[in-house]
Structure 1
C-alpha cells in the first residue's frame, strides 16, 4: 500500500517529510512479518495474556498493547475513524486520567523523536481534533508496539502532551482510519476486521479464511468523503423493519464509527424507522419524551411489559446488496426500567453514523485493496472459532 505524504482526517501538522523512504521499507518489512496471518484475541473472560480487548461499561471497545522497550502495557481505544495512533506522553502539559502509568519516552530505548524541516528541525508537531472540546496535540515520534505478542518497530505515533475531553481512562487511540499513518497502513496489511460482542470481541489484521464454506459475503464499496478523508463511509439504500420496507429518501452515506455506541440516520429515514418500530412493538408502552431525554435517546419503551413483545427483524441494506441484519438495536436501561432504540436522527451539519451497537454480533471485514467492506453472515463465536482452528 503506497504511503502518501499527507495526513488525513482532522489532523493538522506543519508540512514535513516523515522519512518516506524508510517508512515504505518499514511497511514492506512489516507486511512480510505479518505474512498474510492474523492476530486474534478473545476479550472475555480475561486472562494473563499481554494483549486483550474489552468494552468497559458498554462504551468503546478497548485494546491492550505494549508501547516501547521494555513494553509498557496500556489500554487504547479501537478507533475506525482516526488516522493516527497516539498515546498520552510525559511530561504532560495536560493529560487525562488513565488506567496505569502514562508512557514516558525517557524510559524506552526504542523511542525516536521525528523532525520536520518546516519546524526548523526541532520536532514534528501535530494537532488532532475529535470535534467539540476533544483533541490531542503533541509531536510525532516512532516506537516499538507489541500487539498480541508480536513486536513491530518504527511505528509512527502521536506523543500527546496536551489532551482534553476524551475517553474512558485509556492511554490513547489505535487509529485505524484511512491515511498514511493509520495502523493498517503502517503494518502493511490490506485487510482487517473485528466482531463486537458483549463477552467475546475479536480483532484481526491480515487475510481471514473463508468464514462460510462455498459462499462469498456481499460487499459494499467504501465511499470517500472529502470532508472526512480518513473515514470509512458506506451507502445505505434501504431499511426493513419486519414486513415494512423503507427506501432511503436520498443517498445516505454512513460513517462507520467504532467509538459511537449509537447509529445516527438521516432525519427522514429515522422518522420512518421509528414509526415502523412503534407500530410493530405493541403492546409495549412508549415512554415519555422526558424519560427518553433523561437517557439521551429519542425512543424508549417502558420495560415492565417488554416480555410481551417480540422485536421485529431489522435489516440495513447497502449499495452492492450487502445486508446487515441488526439484532442489537434495543438497549435496556435497567436503572430506569426502559428499553430504548439505539438509533437517533443525525443533526444538521453532522455525519450519519453506523455505530457499534448495531454491529454487535456481526463480523465486519475491511478489504482495503478492493476498497470494500463486508458484513459476514456468521456470529462472533463462529468467527472466533474459524481463526482458532
Structure 2
C-alpha cells in the first residue's frame, strides 16, 4: 500500500491479532507501533494496538541482553527500572518512545511468536507524513532486534520487495519472504550486497550515474573521504533505505548530476526559496525528463524513468535526489 511518499505493509500483532499499517523500513531494525495506554499519540486510521488486551505481550526487563542490544536507543536504568524502554528517532522528525517487549506477529497465514516489538506510548510524526495513516515502522534491517532474526525458522532466510511507482494507481507493491523471495526472469539484474560490522544496514556499490551519454563517476575526483557517514570510494558506498523516499548523493556527485540534467532538459529551472540547490521545473505535460541510469558493481545497470527521479508537487516538478549535506525537506513540504 502506498500513501504519500511511503510504502505501508499490513501486519497483525498480538493475541488476538490486531491489524496495523506500518512503514516497511530496511534502514532500521526496531519494529514499533503506537500502543495503548498512550501518553502522546498522533491520529491513525487503524485501531490502535492495546498491549493490555494481548495475552502474548511480554515486556522485556531493562537488564536483559535484548534490551542492551538497543545501544544508545535504550533509555531505561537497570538499577532503578524493571521494564525495558526504548527511544528511536528518524531523520524526518518521527520519534517513538515506549516499552520493548516480545509479541506474536502474523504475516499471511503464519504466526511468529516472541518477536521483538516496540510498544510506542509517546510518539511524534513528521508534518509531511502526519496524514499517511501509518501505525508505526516495521524494521527490516539486519541486527539482533530485527524481525528477520526469526525468518530462518519460520520463513527461510530471504526476503525481497518490489515497490510499484506512485504513478500507478490501484496496484499493490509486494514484499515476499522465504522461497517466494527469489527474483528471477527476463530483465532481472543483480549486484552484491555489502555488510559492515555493527551496522544493521544494507550497502551496495555504485560505480557511476549516466544521463544520456554523460557519465558521472564515483571516484577520488568527487571526494576522497567520507560524506554522510558513508565511504564513497570503496565497496558498499551507498545504502538502501526503503523508509526514506528521497535519494541522497554526495554533494559533488549531486551537483554534476544536476548540471547534466539541466543541460539536456529543454526548459528553464526555477529557483526554490530556502533551497537553492534543488532542481525544480514548472510542470508542463510536454516537458521531457531524461531517464537516469545507475551503474552498480557486478555489471548491474538500473535505469530509472522520470517518475522515479522527479515528483510532481502542485504545479512543479522536483528532483527526488538531494545532496547528502542537506537536511530532510521538511520545511519545503509544510
TM-score normalized by the length of structure 1: 0.67
Deviations 1:92-141 (A, max 9, x none): 12222222222111211222222244736822222222247432222221
Shift of 1:190: 2.4
After superposition, residues 124-139 of structure 1 pair within 5 angstroms as 124-131=84-91, 133-139=93-99
SS in 1 for 2:160: strand
- Corresponding residue number in structure 1 for 2:123: 163
CA contact (8 A) 1:221 1:319 kept: no
Counterpart Cα distance in 2 of 1:320 and 1:223: 16
Is 1:235 aligned to residue 235 of structure 2?
A: no
SS in 1 for 2:318: strand
Shift of 1:209: 4.1
1:98 to 31, 44, 61: 44
2:33 to 62, 68, 87: 87
Shift of 1:73: 0.9
Counterpart Cα distance in 1 of 2:196 and 2:295: 19
CA contact (8 A) 1:180 1:186 kept: no
SS in 2 for 1:278: helix
CA contact (8 A) 2:35 2:121 kept: yes
- Corresponding residue number in structure 1 for 2:268: 285
Counterpart Cα distance in 2 of 1:123 and 1:77: 26
- Shift in alpha-carbon separation, 1:205–1:176, aligned structure 2, 3 A: same
- Shift in alpha-carbon separation, 1:190–1:164, aligned structure 2, 3 A: same
- Corresponding residue number in structure 2 for 1:335: 314
- Corresponding residue number in structure 1 for 2:162: 195
SS in 1 for 2:192: strand
Shift of 1:210: 5.1
CA contact (8 A) 2:29 2:141 kept: yes
- Corresponding residue number in structure 1 for 2:69: none
Counterpart Cα distance in 2 of 1:136 and 1:334: 29
Counterpart Cα distance in 2 of 1:61 and 1:113: 29
- Corresponding residue number in structure 1 for 2:299: 321
CA contact (8 A) 2:8 2:22 kept: yes
- Corresponding residue number in structure 1 for 2:194: 222
- Corresponding residue number in structure 1 for 2:176: 204
Shift of 1:149: 3.1
Counterpart Cα distance in 2 of 1:210 and 1:87: 30
Query: Between Structure 1 and Structure 2, how many residues are aligned?
Result: 286
Counterpart Cα distance in 2 of 1:313 and 1:136: 38
Shift of 1:186: 2.4
Shift of 1:339: 2.2
Counterpart Cα distance in 1 of 2:50 and 2:208: 49
Is 1:301 aligned to residue 281 of structure 2?
A: yes
SS in 1 for 2:261: helix
- Shift in alpha-carbon separation, 1:346–1:275, aligned structure 2, 3 A: same
TM-score normalized by the length of structure 2: 0.77
Is 1:273 aligned to residue 245 of structure 2?
A: no
Counterpart Cα distance in 1 of 2:51 and 2:287: 57
After superposition, residues 1-389 of structure 1 pair within 5 angstroms as 54-57=1-4, 59-117=5-63, 119=78, 122-131=82-91, 133-166=93-126, 167=129, 168-188=132-152, 189-197=156-164, 198=166, 199-207=171-179, 208-209=181-182, 211-212=184-185, 217-224=189-196, 229-248=199-218, 249-250=222-223, 252=232, 253-282=237-266, 284-290=267-273, 293=275, 298-304=278-284, 306-307=285-286, 309=288, 311-327=289-305, 328-333=307-312, 335-336=314-315, 338-347=316-325
Structure 1: which 5+ residue stretches go unaligned?
A: 1-53, 352-389
